[in-house]
C-alpha cells in the first residue's frame, strides 16, 4: 500500500493525469518492495542455522521424468481448481453475489513487464523461501506431514481469495513435498514453471499462432496435462496413502496447530478480506 501511494504521488504531472488505480494494480513495482521487506523480516527473525536449513539438498535426486510428472500434477490441480471455481460461483450466485473478480484476478496473465517479472520469477522465489524455506523448516521438527500441511495452509491464506486460496493450498502441498524430498531449488523451479511457463509464456506463445482461440487452446493443454496428472495420482495412490499413514503420530500436533488461537485469528481476518472481494450480481 505504501509503495503504491508513493508510486502514485511521485510521478510527473503529465504522467499522473494518465495514471489510474487499475494501472497501479497491474504494476509489479509495489510487490518488489513488499517481498523485499518480507525477506528482511525473515532474515531478522531466523537463526543462521535455520537460514542454512532452508537450502539443504533433498533426500532424493530429481530427474526429468519426475519433474514432468510433477508438472502434470500441477496441471491436474489447475483442472480441479477450475471446476471448484465454477461450482463456487454458482453457489454464491444463489445469495446474489459473485466471485468473478476474484476468478479474473486468479486467471489473467501479466499486463506489464514489472508484473511479469514479479509473478513469473520474483514472486515464486520469495514465496518458496518464506513458505517452503523458513516456515516449513521451522515446523519440520514436528514432522514432515505437519510442516507440509501448515505451510500449504498458510500459503493458501496468503492469497486471501476464495478462488486462489484453495488452489494455492493444493499447490503448496506439492511444493512442500518437493522441497523436503528434492530440495527447495526444485520447489522454486516447479513454482516458476507453473507461474511463468504454464501461465504467461503459454498464453503469449499461443497468442502468436492462434490469437482468436488462445484461451481455448491454453485450457485444452492444461486439461490434457491434468488428465495425465490425475492418472499418475491414481496410479500412485497406495504409496501416497502409505506415506500419510506413516505420519499418523503427527496428528495431535496437527490438531494443536489448527486450533492455535493466532492461526484462528489470522484465518478469520483472511476470510474477511476474501469476503470484501465479492461483488453483487
Per-residue pLDDT of 69-92, as tens digits, reads: 999 999 999 999 999 999 999 999
Residue 95 lies in a domain: yes
Residue 3 belongs to what domain range? 1-10+19-38
Residue 31 lies in a domain: yes
Per-residue pLDDT of 109-129, as tens digits, reads: 777 888 888 888 999 999 999
Same domain, 132 and 258: yes
Residue 50 lies in a domain: no
Same domain, 25 and 148: no
Same domain, 33 and 72: no
Same domain, 80 and 138: yes
Same domain, 147 and 203: yes
Residue 266 lies in a domain: yes
Q: What is the pLDDT of residue 16?
A: 47
Same domain, 27 and 95: no
Q: What is the pLDDT of residue 269?
A: 95
| Helices 64-93 & 164-182 angle (0-180, nearest 10) | 160
Rounded percentage of the chain residues whose pLDDT exceeds 70: 91
Same domain, 162 and 228: yes
Amino acid at each position: 500500500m505504501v509503495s503504491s501511494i508513493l508510486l502514485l504521488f511521485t510521478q510527473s504531472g503529465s504522467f499522473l493525469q494518465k495514471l489510474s488505480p487499475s494501472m497501479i494494480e497491474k504494476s509489479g513495482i509495489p510487490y518488489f518492495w513488499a517481498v523485499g521487506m518480507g525477506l528482511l523480516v525473515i532474515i531478522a527473525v531466523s537463526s543462521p542455522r535455520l537460514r542454512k536449513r532452508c537450502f539443504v539438498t533433498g533426500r532424493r535426486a530429481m530427474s526429468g521424468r519426475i519433474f514432468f510428472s510433477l508438472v502434470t500434477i500441477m496441471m491436474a490441480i489447475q483442472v480441479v481448481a477450475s471446476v471448484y471455481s465454477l461450482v463456487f460461483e454458482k453457489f454464491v450466485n444463489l445469495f446474489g453475489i459473485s466471485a468473478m473478480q476474484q476468478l479474473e484476478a486468479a486467471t489473467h496473465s501479466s499486463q506489464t513487464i514489472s508484473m511479469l517479472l514479479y509473478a513469473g520469477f520474483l514472486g515464486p522465489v520469495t514465496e518458496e523461501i518464506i513458505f517452503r524455506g523458513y516456515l516449513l523448516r521451522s515446523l519440520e521438527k514436528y514432522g514432515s506431514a505437519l510442516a507440509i500441511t501448515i505451510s500449504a495452509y498458510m500459503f493458501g491464506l496468503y492469497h486471501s481469495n476464495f478462488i486462489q486460496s484453495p488452489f494455492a493450498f493444493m499447490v503448496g502441498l506439492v511444493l512442500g513435498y518437493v522441497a523436503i524430498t528434492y530440495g527447495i531449488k526444485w520447489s522454486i523451479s516447479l513454482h516458476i514453471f507453473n507461474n511463468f511457463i504454464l501461465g504467461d509464456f503459454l498464453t503469449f506463445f499461443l497468442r502468436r499462432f492462434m490469437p482468436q482461440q488462445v484461451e481455448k487452446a491454453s485450457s485444452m493443454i492444461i486439461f490434457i496435462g491434468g488428465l495425465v496428472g490425475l492418472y499418475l495420482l491414481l496410479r500412485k495412490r497406495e504409496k501416497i496413502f502409505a506415506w500419510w499413514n506413516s505420519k499418523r503420530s503427527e496428528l495431535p500436533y496437527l490438531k494443536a496447530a489448527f486450533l492455535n488461537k493466532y492461526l484462528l485469528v489470522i484465518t478469520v481476518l483472511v476470510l474477511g478480506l476474501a469476503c470484501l472481494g465479492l461483488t453483487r450480481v
